[in-house]
Structure 1
């Protein structure tokens, strides 16, 4: 059962990466179309710029929710690395608790704002803003869940390894 779960999680992670790649490719080709149409044919169009911005918004938040692992998150390594194991554990618990509280407090207002934005559409593509901004609700909920697990692991004294700057990487 554990192997099946790990295999499923790995497969889902790969599909999330595929979505990120598709968003990046869409951004790239929309950007190229914008350059070609504006500078080579002297026919500027707005939908390419709007599509690029929408893809960027979704790419950043989608990646933060589904693609980036905890060990790939950006940290203040100079500060974090200089702390002892016990102090790192306390810092992780306080940071997790702070983020859980802040995101939980803001979540009702975020959901209210996103649902309110169904009355507006994007200028060129006509996409409802509630759909465009819905990724942020998913981001906020996923951040709360992720921080619960990170904080719980810190309380259980697991997941707080000794800092090794030679193991830092881009996740590749």
Structure 2
């Protein structure tokens, strides 16, 4: 049951990321069409592509990129004995968890401050108001919490099962 729910969650997050990429691609094509065919570029397409890029990067890194997919410089780590690798993995996981959690409140304060600033050209679909930057950058707060939770889980996993092999 847990594996089924996990697979379902993975598929949902992959679908969301694919949707964001598709929206960015369509917006980019619309930008090209408006600039070179209509000879009147739409101002909102560039800003919308940038917003989508921010969401793709942080959403993807939070929910889709696995630990083994990250670039690592692990020459010393792999050359160390198992006990040293376990200590290094524990220190790294704890550092990332503590660092993300320690920085979360000041980061959220700044993201919350951005509610007074709004997008230049992109507007909300129903109200027509410009979008607060807090809405756009809120994905970074989600990213921080998810990464902290993932590395807290990694810390527990290393304690239980020993150092991971690469």
TM range (shorter): 0.7 to 0.9
Please say if residues 16 and 67 of structure 1, whose CA atoms lie closer than 8 Å, have aligned partners that are also in contact.
yes
SS at match of 2:165: coil
Measured at CA, do residues 71 and 127 of structure 1 come closer, stay the same or move farther in structure 2, by a change above 3 Å?
A: same
Post-superposition Cα deviations, 1:97-130, rounded to whole Å, max 9, x if no partner, equal 2112211211111111111211121111121111
Please say if residues 50 and 124 of structure 1, whose CA atoms lie closer than 8 Å, have aligned partners that are also in contact.
yes
**Which residue does 2:73 correspond to in 1?**
76
1:148 aligns with 2:143: no
Question: d(CA) in 2 for partners of 1:140 and 1:19?
Answer: 19
1:8 aligns with 2:5: yes
Question: d(CA) in 2 for partners of 1:28 and 1:78?
Answer: 39
Q: Is 85-94 or 58-67 further displaced after alignment?
A: 85-94
Question: d(CA) in 2 for partners of 1:18 and 1:77?
Answer: 32
Please say if residues 158 and 164 of structure 2, whose CA atoms lie closer than 8 Å, have aligned partners that are also in contact.
no
Match of 1:105 among 99, 102, 121: 102
User: 1:51-70, aligned counterparts within 5 Å?
Assistant: 51-70=48-67
1:129 aligns with 2:133: yes
Unmatched runs of 5 consecutive residues or more in structure 2: 123-129
Q: Give the structure with the higher percent strand.
A: 2
Post-superposition Cα deviations, 1:121-167, rounded to whole Å, max 9, x if no partner, equal 11111211111011111111111111111112222234x3333xxxx
Question: d(CA) in 2 for partners of 1:45 and 1:154?
Answer: 51
TM-score by length of 2: 0.87
SS at match of 1:162: coil
TM-score by length of 1: 0.84
SS at match of 1:123: strand
Question: d(CA) in 1 for partners of 2:51 and 2:77?
Answer: 34
Question: d(CA) in 1 for partners of 2:137 and 2:32?
Answer: 27
Unmatched runs of 5 consecutive residues or more in structure 1: 164-172
Match of 1:27 among 24, 28, 41: 24
Q: How many residues align?
A: 159
Structure 1 segments (4+ residues) deviating >4 Å: none
